[in-house]
Amino acid sequence: MFSKIALAAVIILCFPALVWADGNASIMSGGETTTVEFSGQKFLRMDAPEAGGYMLLRDDKLYSVAHEGDRVMVFDIAAALKAMGGSARQESFWDEDVVEVVSFESTGENETVAGIPGEVYELQALNREGKKQVSTLVLTEHPIVVELSAAMFRMSETLVNAIGDETPRSLLMMKDHIIAKDKGILRQGEDFEIISITENSPSAERFALPAEPMKLPFGG
pLDDT digit string, tens, across residues 139-148: 999 999 988 8
Burial 171-208 (b: 16+ CB within 10 A, else e): bebbeebbbeeebbbbbbeebbbbeebeeeebeeeebe
Report whether pLDDT(211) > 90.
yes
Of 125, 132, 111, give the one whose Cα is nearest residue 187: 111
Residue type at position 89: R
Interval 41-58: pLDDT, tens: 789 999 987 778 999 999
pLDDT at 12 over 90: no
Q: How does residue 14 score in pLDDT terms, banded at 50, 70 and 90? A: very low
- pLDDT bin (cut points 50, 70, 90) of residue 92 is very low
Question: Which is higher by pLDDT, 129 or 116?
Answer: 116
User: What pLDDT is recorded for position 187?
Assistant: 96
Which H or E element spans position 83?
helix 77-84
Q: Quick one: 14 exposed, middle or buried, by C-beta within 10 A (0-12, 13-18, 19+)?
A: buried
- Average pLDDT of the chain is 80
Q: How far apart are CA 185 and CA 144, in angstroms?
A: 11
Least confident segment among 66-70, 85-89, 140-144: 85-89
93-103 pLDDT tens trace: 445 567 788 89
| pLDDT (mean) for 176-197 | 88
Beta bridge partner(s), residue 56: 45, 63
Distance CA 26, CA 148 (A): 11
